[in-house]
Every structure is written in C-alpha cells, then in structure tokens.
Amino acid sequence: MTKKNAFYAQSGGVTAVINASACGVIQAARENSDKIGTVYAGRNGIIGALTEDLIDTSLESDEDIAALRHTPSGAFGSCRYKLKPIEQSTAEYERIIEVFKAHNIGYFFYNGGGDSQDTSHKMALMSKKLGYPITCIGVPKTVDNDLPITDNCPGFGSVAKYVAVSIREAGFDVASMAKTSTKVFVMEVMGRHAGWIAAAGALAAEKEGDSPHIILFPEVVFDQEKFLARVDECVKKFGYCAIVVSEGLSNTDGVFLAEAGGKDAFGHAQLGGVAPVIAEIVKGALGYKYHWAVADYLQRAARHIASKTDVDQAYAVGRAAVEFALAGKNAVMPAIVRTSDEPYQWEIGEALLADVANVEKMMPPEYITEDGFGITEECRRYLQPLIEGEDYPPFKNGLPNYVELKNESVAKKLKTTFDIA
Ligand code: F6P
C-alpha cells in the first residue's frame, strides 16, 4: 500500500495551546514517516481543503515545529466556516475529497471544538459514502471547555489560569484604591453558553473576602436586585467588590445582556461588552466608582502564563491523534481521562466523534453555589489541577519569542477552483 499524506487543520476560536497540538501531530507523523507521508496543513482551516490551499509542513525545520509548542494562536490560520448540512448539499465534501485524492491524502486531523468535531464526523461519513477511504480523527480544542466526554478541553486550562491570575492581581489593585476611589471592578471573560471560564476566576479566592467576590455565570439568569444587594454587601464588608462576568450572561428572557452585533458562520451571536453594562448598573443603583475590563483575546492568547497541565495535554492529544490513526481507528477523538484528583493524574482515552459532535457541556448545577454567585468545593476540585504548573515560553528582548512558520504553499494540482460561500 502506498503511503498516504495527512491533512491537519485548525478550526474555530484559537487558543494559547492549539499549536502545541499541531506540534504533537507533526512530530508524531515525522517519527512515523515510514507510514505517513507529508503533513499538509489547511491554510485557514477547512477553507484550505476546499480551495486547495495547502501548506507543506515538511519545509519547516524540526526546531520551528518544536517551537509551536510554546507559540499561541493558530500557526496555519483558523476559520469559522460551516460546511453545508449533508442533506442540503454534498458538494463541499466532494470537493474536499477531490482535493485529498489529488494530493494522496488519507488522514484527516481536525483540531477544534464542538462544531469542528461535527465536521470531522461528517467527513468520516462522507468518505465512506463516496468510497474514498479517509481516516478522520478529531483533535479536541476549545477555551470554552464545553466538549463532552473529555475531562477538559485543551485551551481551557490556560485561559482559566489567565483569568484567575488577572482577577487576583486586579483585586489587589482595587483593594488599594477602594478607600478613596474605585470600589467595584468588573472583568468580562469568554464562554458563550458555558460558564467554565468564569468559574475559573473563582480559583483566585482562597479565603473569605478574597477577590473575586461575585461570579456571574451564563447558566444563571441575571437577577439584578439580588446582584446589587450582594455588591453592596461586599463593599460594606470588604471595602470593595471584584466581579467576574461571563460574556454569555443572559436576562430572564434568555437574551444576552451584551450582544456586540453580528453573527458568525455558525449563527453564533458575537458577544462582548457585558462588563460596562454591569458596571453601569452598579453605578446607577449604588453610585460606586468602577473600572471594568474585557479580557477578550488577551485571555485566549496568553501563552506567557499558560498552564503546564494544559500545554502537556494539548500536545498529548495531538500525538494521540496520529497514534490512533496508525492503530487503524477512525471517526474518534482522543479524550482526556482523569484518573485521580489529588494528585491530578490523567491519561488519553477515546471518544466517538458521533458522541462529541454538537453536544455542549455546561457547568453542572452542583458546581455552582446555591446563591448562584460562586463555585462549590466540588467545582474547585475539578478546576484546580487544570491551572497547575507554569510553562513559560523563551523570552528575547524582554518579550516571548514565538515562532512564525514559513507556511509555503503546496503547488495546486487541480484545474478546478472552488468558491467558498
Ligand atoms: O469558541 C471560543 C470562543 O473563544 C468563545 O468563547 C467566544 O465567544 C468566541 O470564540 C469568539 O469568537 P471569534 O474569535 O470568532 O469572534
């Protein structure tokens, strides 16, 4: 049998460690060069497959591939592009397979969240249907931590650490100023539907009075009166109040408090800007001076303070994806399996793409305190190990020294082009 090449692509919102997964995939493939040919990366995710815009990763040095492990964001470009439902049209899948045939690609490694695992699953179905064998392996990634089955999602631990570190540091700042100036600080974090990132902020509070004092989860309907009463109570008791609010906070009608306007290819509303809304509510009702911050991309790009656990896991799922493919597995995703909380131990298990696709894992009710403003001990036990360990990137001229790949294109072989919608 002739050796097949591999396609690897990054999809959806990027993270501080998605390139560590890319590093795992490429290094494992290089170590098995007798079985796997070249790893072609999709430029801008699946769009690269559709438009035959492939990157030849074999032109990158071993050193640069190794440096991906400490470089944030998506080295090959990511995308939010939804393939049409199979029932509606199979043209895109046919096109991808045409491109794969032309480049002798037999392995599909797709690194993303829930929507991307759905794409991988559909690719596996369509490869069967169209009679061109492709081994489809999903590689988990999402800062939102909302994939099912896996203990957590690569990308989350580092965001969690950044958020906990930031609210601790900002809390110290507000505490210093509170006597005569700012009394309320609001920090907005990502997490459209699931409050995992907001919950991670609570790790910074280790004893009563520590920042943050209030967490606002997307899973808990915003109760303005109750919230204001708690803010006032904190200011009177501790001198100030530090709040972490999820971008996905909704009111009683299920409407996001802050939609920035616009929708992405998956129909997701673009969120952002709930922090100033919350700060204004506080000022209007209680008159306290405030500062607010929207962590936005800073949180998911923050490789400088990444969690070592997260980096290790992101790398491991990348390697495992290749090992799974070589073991003859198909339509699966490497999952992180927690075998012990203390000390935290984990291993790589396996999830069927069919079970992962389109399932969002929310915070379970037992992870949120009864008042709706904090996390339970059980939740803390779950989250704590995920932020453990530091894995600083190398620094040069006082800044992190990240790699920029050559990203040279593979010569096109097809005469046909494909216009993406
Ligand atoms: O899907 C992960 C995520 O980081 C969400 O938490 C956030 O709402 C979204 O991506 C932002 O997406 P984009 O970068 O496409 O605006």
CB 202 within 8 A of CB 165: no
Q: How far apart are CA 196 and CA 215, in angstroms?
A: 11
Which run of H or of E encompasses 225?
helix 224-238
Mean per-residue pLDDT, 291-298? 97
Cα of first residue to Cα of last residue in the chain, in angstroms, is 37
Distance 350 CA to ligand 1 centre (A): 26
Q: What is the pLDDT of residue 256?
A: 86
Q: How far apart are CA 333 and CA 322, in angstroms?
A: 11
In this prediction, residue 420 has a pLDDT band, given cuts at 50, 70 and 90, of confident
Q: What is the pLDDT of residue 269?
A: 66
Distance 299 CA to ligand 1 centre (A): 11
User: Is the CB of 141 inside a 6 Å radius of any atom of ligand 1?
Assistant: no
| Mean pLDDT of the residues in the chain | 95
Strands of 19-64, DSSP E = 36-42, 54-56
Q: How many CB atoms lie within 10 A of CB 281?
A: 18
| pTM flag (> 0.85) | yes
Mean per-residue pLDDT, 159-177? 98
Which run of H or of E encompasses 116?
helix 114-129
What Rg value do the Cα atoms of the chain yield, rounded? 22
User: Is the CB of 80 inside a 6 Å radius of any atom of ligand 1?
Assistant: yes
For ligand 1, pick from 268, 274, 297 the residue to mutate: most ligand atoms within 8 Å of CB. Answer: 268
Quick one: what percent of the chain has pLDDT higher than 70? 97
Q: How far apart are CA 153 and CA 138, in angstroms?
A: 12
Residue whose CA lies nearest to ligand 1 atom number 3 = 13
Grouping H, G, I as helix, E, B as strand and the rest as coil, residue 407 is coil
User: Is the CB of 144 inside a 6 Å radius of any atom of ligand 1?
Assistant: yes
Tell me which of 38-42, 86-90, 283-287, 311-315 is least confident. 86-90
Grouping H, G, I as helix, E, B as strand and the rest as coil, residue 202 is helix
Torsion sign across C-alpha atoms 69, 270, 265, 361: positive
For ligand 1, pick from 190, 247, 259, 296 the residue to mutate: most ligand atoms within 8 Å of CB. Answer: 190
Q: Which domains does the chain have, with CATH numbers?
A: 4-142+305-358+391-400 (3.40.50.450), 156-303 (3.40.50.460)
Distance 74 CA to ligand 1 centre (A): 13
Q: What is the pLDDT of residue 261?
A: 55
Q: How far apart are CA 24 and CA 211, in angstroms?
A: 37
CB 97 within 8 A of CB 414: no
Q: How far apart are CA 44 and CA 173, in angstroms?
A: 40
In this prediction, residue 264 has a pLDDT band, given cuts at 50, 70 and 90, of low
Q: What is the pLDDT of residue 405?
A: 98
In this prediction, residue 267 has a pLDDT band, given cuts at 50, 70 and 90, of low
Q: What is the pLDDT of residue 317?
A: 98
User: Is the CB of 191 inside a 6 Å radius of any atom of ligand 1?
Assistant: yes
Residue 253 bears catalytic tag: no
Distance 124 CA to ligand 1 centre (A): 26
In this prediction, residue 77 has a pLDDT band, given cuts at 50, 70 and 90, of very high
User: Is the CB of 300 inside a 6 Å radius of any atom of ligand 1?
Assistant: yes
Active-site residue, from 53, 115, 144, 391: 144
Q: How many CB atoms lie within 10 A of CB 406?
A: 11
